[in-house]
Amino acid sequence: MSKPNISKAKIVIATSTDSEVELLSMGVPDTLLVALKSIKFKAEGSETVKVAIDENSFFVVAASDSAHPWGVANAVANAVRLAGKSAVEVLAPKENQDKAVFGALLGNYRAKDLDKAATSINFSKEFNKDDVKKGEKLASAVLAAIDLINSPANKIYPETFVDKALEITAPLKLKSKVLDEKALKAGGYGAILSVGSGSARPPRLLSLNYKPKGAKKHLVLVGKGITFDSGGLSLKPAASMGTMKYDMAGAASVLAAIVAIASLELKIEVTSIMCLAENMPSATATRPGDVITSLSGKTIEVTNTDAEGRLVLADGITHGLGLKPDYLVDIATLTGAISVALGGRLFGIFGDEDIVEAGLSASRSAGEDGWHLPMPAHLNEMLASEVADYANTKNGNSFGGSSIGALFLEKFAKTNSEDAPQWLHLDIAGAAWNTEGPRGVIPKGATGVGIRTLVQLAENLQ
């Protein structure tokens, strides 16, 4: 169906039940359903139609996956996006009103104009005020991350990422700790320093802590924050480099997650650790074959400087273990291999069995597509080194890249300590950047994928 021309339309959500159209929104006149039947509107797929009744204009959008709570969000996002710059009113659905609010705000995002929303949105009086606030808080956090990821690397680099993160979190009064290059060197963060050594913009490690009264569990989130990834001396091809501003999506995700968790006042302590560096080639850059010492004391032979994300995470994970958490989750645009395995819409989930199940459940509840992938022990041989404890990868190998990356991280996340936390790894490299065009709550460019899963996981673990 052609794109509707909307002018101050009321957005109505519809679905199909036993071949009959059902309206999920409240405050809709009975005559609308009659009108829809007369034009044989079936509410299938992403079908949309504009209907004028008396002085009201209704934009009816199908929620083909309405059985899932996030189906409403995707439908509303599609409707708002199609509205262009016209003012719209979202009529409250009978259920999942917070999802409808989230969908409206994500559908209203335009990457080319980071400071201005595209459409004037109102929510009908039938909306529950608490649900509106809940949807707004989650959307605000996700959109803050999306803005950061979409920003060019000459604007967002380790130092300015920290500045922006502290600005975003200032109203929440989180505890913060920033390690600059001098503090990183003094503290023995050799892996982060190695990755950032080729850049004129030195690395940073930012830690934010949210600890509400009554919290019984502590969740540590660690995010890869490569603000631009040229590949270092193992230089990427030009075609692979243009979008590498998004290689800090993991750090942006853990920032957004703690913002949402604190805003929603979940009863769980959360620490977000952002491992920030720019991976550039220069006379001071780490060379292939160099051996570095990580914060853990374990040595790493850097066989390929373009496998740098696992290096900064190694130090970030070790830093997180020092906080003695119950759970430790890292999230990263870690491997191109994850796109080969799962395509551009799913992300990989690796780790300990119990928390993997919790992660999968959280992703499903959050309307995201996490997929459990294995960590076969025989792939550890791809990390063998004759001169260090481990190599960061094996050059020339084209098999099991995402599993190998996870196995590398496991060597730092898993200890022999009895109080070692459960560990989960999310590889979002394929799903964190959308080249296909917007769909539902997923905009083009940075997607914010993984954030809702992290927030849902925290809610389930509290």
The pLDDT tens digits of the residues spanning 276-329 come to 999 999 999 999 999 999 999 999 999 999 999 999 999 999 999 999 999 999
How many residues are present in the chain?
Answer: 462
Cα angle for residues 208, 318, 138 (degrees, 5° grid)? 35
For 352, the 3-state DSSP assignment is: coil
Using CA atoms, how far apart are residues 233 and 237, in angstroms rounded to an integer? 12
Specify the pLDDT at position 8.
67
For helices 129-150 and 249-263, the axis angle rounded to 10 degrees is: 160
Specify the pLDDT at position 1.
40
Specify the pLDDT at position 67.
67
Going along 103-259, which residue ranges are E strands?
A: 121-123, 175-179, 204-210, 218-229
Specify the pLDDT at position 44.
85
Using CA atoms, how far apart are residues 131 and 137, in angstroms rounded to an integer? 10
Q: Which contacts (CB < 8 Å, 24+ apart) does range 27-33 have?
A: 27/91, 27/92, 27/124, 27/125, 27/126, 28/58, 28/91, 29/53, 29/56, 32/58, 32/60
The pLDDT tens digits of the residues spanning 205-244 come to 999 999 999 999 999 999 999 999 999 999 999 999 999 9
Distance (Å) of CA 225 to CA 76, 154, 156, 275, 316: 32, 15, 11, 5, 10
Q: Which sequence spans correspond to the domains of the chain? A: 9-127, 140-461
Specify the pLDDT at position 19.
74
Confidence band (pLDDT; 50, 70, 90) for 111? low
Q: Which residues are bridge partners to 423 per DSSP?
A: 328
Q: Which residues contact 306 (CB under 8 A, 6 or more apart)?
A: 229, 231, 232, 234, 235, 236, 279
Taking only Cα atoms into account, the Rg of the chain, rounded to an integer number of angstroms, comes to 23
For 134, the 3-state DSSP assignment is: helix
Using CA atoms, how far apart are residues 223 and 428, in angstroms rounded to an integer? 11
Specify the pLDDT at position 5.
44
Answer positive or negative: Cα dihedral of 305, 308, 311, 316: positive
User: Which residue would you say has higher pLDDT here, 373 or 67?
Assistant: 373
Considering only CA atoms, which of 2, 36, 1 is closest in space to residue 16?
Answer: 36
Q: Which residues contact 316 (CB under 8 A, 6 or more apart)?
A: 192, 205, 222, 223, 224, 273, 274, 275, 330
Show which residues are catalytic. 236, 310
Q: Which CATH number fits domain 9-127: 3.20.20.150, 3.40.50.2300, 3.40.50.300, 3.40.220.10?
A: 3.40.220.10
- pLDDT for 367 beyond 60: yes
Lowest mean pLDDT among 67-81, 125-139, 220-234, 391-405: 67-81
Q: What is the CATH number of domain 140-461?
A: 3.40.630.10
Structure-token match 């066989």, residue found: 303
> Phi, psi at residue 235, to the nearest 5°?
-60, 135
Q: Mean of the pLDDT values across residues 452-459?
A: 98
The pLDDT tens digits of the residues spanning 73-96 come to 999 999 998 887 778 999 999 999
